[in-house]
Amino acid sequence: MILLIALLTIPAAAQWQRHVFTPKGERLDSPPSQPLSYFTQYPSLRDEDHDFCYSCSPEKRLAVAKQRKDRAEVKLVGKVREFEVYDVFYFFEEAAEPQWKSILIKIQPDQYREIWHYQRNEGGIWPSYLLQVGDVTLLGLSDDCYKQQVIQEYYWFGKDGPVRIDLSPIWKAAKAVIPEDTTTWYLYDGRTELPAGRIKVGLIRKPAWQCCNGGVVEVRFELNDGQVVVKGARLDPTQKLRYPASCR
């Protein structure tokens, strides 16, 4: 009976996904929960590109990791429903700026699940944040901010845990109303546009391939339990898209 109660208090594993983003690519997986020390001790062992001590045995990798001057800083982002959300910033050797970042969700005393693992490429790493959309609190992140590119992800929290919001219905709705000689540009400012329920999608007119010289599609939408419900899309061929000033 005690085991059954414990299992019922743990969010369903099928609801939890981790997004891994490294210079070698990205993927989704669903690793098990771990104590906090798993993420903070010997950060080099958390390398998802498997470059650290590549040809070493597990024992050798641990020995090398113990000799390094790596460190991890844990910062509370906030609480959504009953879930505490933490950023973990990883610093390697004498680096003053973090090179990696994890987002952890606390599910039990000293048990955490990782939903975001980012290993820096060219862009920067920034603290995650909570975003109010109506009466719902979302978790947001803006990482890999470089020139006019930024990774933005948002998570809705149900009773079973966080669910990554799929914005693809917005891009699909925009594509349905654009001219044949244009394509869409996926730069947006989630901090302001998600609460407003409107995202302006810039268009690139071929063959110039410059954003955004083809007009703007404004897509209206609602979030229903973390799902995007498109309410309409309107093309304005005379409007120009303004870039977000910063990803911070």
Alpha-carbon distance of 217 to 206, in angstroms, equals 16
**Which residues, at least 6 apart from 59, have a Cβ–Cβ distance to it below 8 Å?**
none
pLDDT at residue 44 is higher than 80:
yes
**pTM above 0.85?**
yes
The residue with greater pLDDT, 10 or 29, is 29
HEC sequence for 163-178: EECCCHHHHHHHHCCC
Cβ-in-10-Å burial (0-12, 13-18, 19+) of 183 comes to middle
Please answer whether residues 196 and 166 qualify as being in contact, where contact means their C-beta atoms are separated by less than 8 angstroms: no
Indicate the SS3 state at residue 239: coil
Predicted local distance difference test score (pLDDT) of residue 147? 54
Mean pLDDT of the chain: 87
User: How does pLDDT run across 91-118, given as a tens digit for each residue?
Assistant: 998 888 999 999 999 999 999 999 999 9
Q: What is the mean pLDDT of residues 126-153?
A: 87
Strands (E), 39-164: 71-80, 83-91, 100-108, 111-119, 129-133, 136-146, 149-158, 161-164
- Tell me: the pLDDT tens digits for 130-141? 999 999 999 999
pLDDT interval class at 217 (50, 70, 90): very high
Give the pLDDT of residue 243. Answer: 60
- For residue 13, pLDDT over 60 is answered with no
Q: Which residue has the higher pLDDT, 195 or 183?
A: 195
